[in-house]
Amino acid sequence: MTPKAALEALRAQAPLVHCITNYVAMNIAANVTLAAGASPAMIHAPQEVADFTPVAGALTINIGTLSEPWVEGMRLAAKTATAQSVPWVLDPVAHFATPYRAKAAQDLLALKPTILRGNASEIIALAGGGGAGKGADSGDSVTDAQSAAIDLAKRMGCVVAVTGETDFVTDGTRHVTIHGGAAIMPKVTALGCSLTALVGAYAAVAPALDATVAALLHFAVAGERAALMSDGPGSFSVRFLDQLYLVQPDDLGESHLTWQ
Ligand SMILES: Nc1ncnc2c1ncn2[C@@H]1O[C@H](COP(=O)(O)OP(=O)(O)O)[C@@H](O)[C@H]1O
Ligand SMILES: Cc1ncsc1CCOP(=O)(O)O
Ligand SMILES: [Mg+2]
């Protein structure tokens, strides 16, 4: 499915997306998902996730701010999604920072996400390498993470997206580079987490690789446009939401993409 067709499907269906994300991201990720055209629900209690996941078109799990009930909620939701074939996306925020976080990420990875999205340092470390990440921020280039992404995609049987100045997406066989966005994007907190929520939204209406490319392209086009109208991270945030909303299917052409 082309990115254009994926956005048409997203806007026509407005899929319900079950998001388990962190305290920092919860509001902006919901607003990003709504602006793009989907319907987010932030639900993490272990007592209710297994009832909610099957009702949603997709699930997204982000480990940004962990505590024990959240870890259990994530585990139950991921297990349910895999058992009931609900596509789900894992965002292993700063998983290398502490042993607790590393174990949470590995346990979730073992539950077979459909799509894995992280910055370069997170993907390098998840494949077993020594990245230069500083907390939630990447210290590595996307180019340096490409072989780790391909390795993980093959090993886990999932789509892997590495984001940064130029994004890279692979299912282990097909590889896509997505150009665009803006250098100011990492200066707004939780944009990566919000992108993970949007990847989930697209995964509800399109096959995993196509969904991931469409979501990243939607961000790249909106980010590029918003940067032209903003003076810094504050005004960029506002303009970015507007541009996510204003992007049309015809704007998601192939010119920002390189397929390998
Ligand atoms: N230097 C950059 N130039 C253009 N876009 C960028 C740049 N850095 C990050 N982005 C974009 O910002 C979004 C979030 O990616 P990233 O910053 O890698 O995630 P995270 O916030 O998880 O570290 C993605 O859409 C990515 O393409
Ligand atoms: C700052 C911070 N601390 C814990 S989660 C989080 C947000 C990280 O967001 P992103 O990975 O999108 O930069
Ligand atoms: Mg992140």
pLDDT of residue 142: 97
Distance (angstroms) between ligand 3 centre and the Cα of 118 equals 6
Protein residues whose CB sits closer than 6 Å to any atom of ligand 2: 22, 24-25, 64-65, 93, 136, 189-193
pLDDT of residue 226: 98
156 CB-near residues (< 8 Å, 6+ apart): 109, 112, 113, 116
Query: Mean pLDDT per 10-residue run, the chain (260 residues)?
Result: 98 98 98 98 98 98 97 98 98 97 97 98 95 91 97 98 98 98 98 98 98 98 98 98 98 94
Fold classification of 3-259 is: UDP-N-acetylmuramoyl-L-alanine:D-glutamate ligase (3.40.1190)
> Which atom of ligand 2 is closest in space to residue 119's alpha carbon?
11
C-alpha dihedral over 105, 109, 115, 120, to 10 degrees? 50
Closest of 148, 147, 74 to residue 111, by C-alpha: 74
pLDDT of residue 131: 81
pLDDT of residue 255: 92
Instruction: Count Cβ atoms below 10 Å from residue 4 Cβ, excluding itself.
Output: 17
Distance (angstroms) between ligand 1 centre and the Cα of 47 equals 34
- The complex's ipTM works out to 0.99
Name the closest-CA residue to atom 12, ligand 1: 185
User: Cβ(223)–Cβ(185) under 8 Å?
Assistant: yes
Q: Find tokens 């990440």 and name the residue.
A: 133
pLDDT of residue 242: 98
- Show binding-site residues for substrate: 42, 190
Domain locations in the chain as residue ranges: 3-259
pLDDT of residue 106: 97
Distance (angstroms) between ligand 3 centre and the Cα of 54 equals 26
Name the closest-CA residue to atom 9, ligand 2: 190
